[in-house]
Amino acid sequence: MGGINAVQRTSTYLEKVEEKDPEINSFIEINPKAIKEAKQVDEGKRKGRLAGLVVGVKSNINVKGLRATCASKTLENYISPYDATVIERVKAEGGVIIGMTNMDEFACGSSGETSYFGETNNPAALGRIPGGSSSGSAAAVAAGFCDVALGSDTGGSIRNPSSHCGVVGLKPTYGLVPRYGLIDLAMSLDQIGPISRDVYTLALMLEVIAGYNPKEATTLKVSKKEYSKHLNSDISGYKIGVAKEFEKVTDPRIMKIIKKSLKVLESRGAEIKEIFLPNLEKGLPTYYLCVFVEFFSATRKFDGRRYGYRIEEVCGKEVLRRILLGKYISQKEYSGKYYKRALQFRSLIKEELLKALEGVDVIVGPTVPKLPHKLGTEIEDPLVMYGYDLLTVPANLAGIPAGVIKSGEVGGVPVGLQIQAKPLDEQKILNVMFALENS
């Protein structure tokens, strides 16, 4: 970012946040030291690949001195005593953290409406949900309040709001990006990833946060990659898998837009191949059973003695539902009936996706099967809300990477294209996105 004045850049963003965020509600807290940190960049005291880039951070990632509330009353006064590994890396490369973004409470949601700090509006389609759970991160990027944001994705929380807000987002391969310092939703599925307005910045942020962390057993020991340097929009010869099953579950208006993007990819020399994902719809119940059990376990530390309040006493409806269901399913006498079965299906879904990916470079399709609803719509049935996640959860269950880029609009509402690939094939996803961006 050579030559760009970081203080100027940061203050421009801060002014914009002050003026426009009351309507969007994408930030929970602004970093009071943002200008000071930007100054250090201008003085050459902080250098690196992100020098001067302004970064928003989802409120479930620890940034020392700022609050990591998970948008819950449970942690409303919890100030992070340390930096998550991804934050250490962002700071070491000169990134300027502007603040903590709004989200669904404890990342449980697909709409951005369950935050204790109020719902977030969609800057790309005002009056509609921005999607979730990284609602504030996607909305802040879409509204032009920062250059790039970090989100977390357990079952689609980076990709779903990226799709609804018309920005680019990527959920990395499980284990590529350290989770140390991320407050868990379901730790066998959670991944931190970037959201941005352009593919280059997305690739740059990914290469900064990715890589082995000796503090954690689940990070992969793979060599560092320079995704931004290797961006290549020449995708001729790429084999692109498309499943009939996508069409069966997706709003035809969304499919129409997605098909246009497929034509664009074909015109750039990619070859479309049909693939089969007969178990696609089993992903949703499998995912939610896994999440309930893992989330129940993860929340036992919020007992009111160590951090904030006892979660069950102050949390919202959805979080409570998950805790109670997780508790029920975890009982010894039920484990075989629900959880073990869910794990069996999880293996099946993973096998199916990896097998489909053997014959192609990427799988391309819609991100969310339906359009984002209008804010204020009462959705009583949780299954209706869970339905938003149908197409995103398989990637988490399989641990594969998946990115989203805007494909088009339906009546002014953005629609995102989802690109999934084999483990550690992030570069291919980014290249397909780059090709679309440059079409």
In the region spanning residues 117 to 146, those forming contacts with ligand GLN, defined by CB under 6 A, are 133
Our CB check for ligand GLN shows the closer of 97 and 319 to be 319
Our CB check for ligand GLN shows the closer of 52 and 283 to be 283
* Options 291, 315, 391, 436; binder of ligand GLN; rule CB under 6 A: 291
| Cα dihedral 264, 265, 267, 271 sign | negative
DSSP assignment letter at 73: G
Our CB check for ligand GLN shows the closer of 107 and 405 to be 107
Our CB check for ligand GLN shows the closer of 71 and 436 to be 71
Category of 166 on φ-ψ map: left (φ > 0), alpha (ψ -120 to 50) or beta: left
| Catalytic option among 26, 58, 137, 428 | 58
In the region spanning residues 180 to 219, those forming contacts with ligand GLN, defined by CB under 6 A, are 185
Our CB check for ligand GLN shows the closer of 90 and 393 to be 393
- Residue 114 makes contact with ligand GLN by CB under 6 A: no
Q: Which residue is nearest to ligand GLN (CB)?
A: 157
User: What are the strands, taking DSSP E only, across 23-147?
Assistant: 27-30, 54-58, 96-101
Residue-wise burial string across 182-213, b where 16 or more C-beta atoms lie within 10 A, e elsewhere:
bbbbbebbbbbbbbbbbbbbbbbbbbbbbbeb
Which residue is listed with tokens 């959705």?
379
Task: Answer whether 24's CB lies under 8 Å from 18's CB.
Answer: no
Please say if 58 is a catalytic residue. Answer: yes
- Residue 390 makes contact with ligand GLN by CB under 6 A: no
- What string marks each residue from 21 to 60 as x (binds ligand GLN by CB under 6 A) or -? ----------------------------------------
- Residue 98 makes contact with ligand GLN by CB under 6 A: no
| Catalytic option among 59, 72, 133, 407 | 133
Tally of residues, the chain: 439
- Residue 110 makes contact with ligand GLN by CB under 6 A: yes
What is the distance of C-alpha 435 from the center of its chain? 22
Instruction: Report which of 326, 13, 271 is spatially closest to residue 143, judged by C-alpha positions.
Output: 13
Q: What is the DSSP string of 349-371?
A: HHHHHHHHHHT-SEEEEES-SSP
Contacts with ligand GLN by CB under 6 A lie at 107-110, 133, 152-157, 185, 291, 389
Instruction: Give the residue numbers annotated as catalytic, written as ranges.
Output: 58, 133, 157
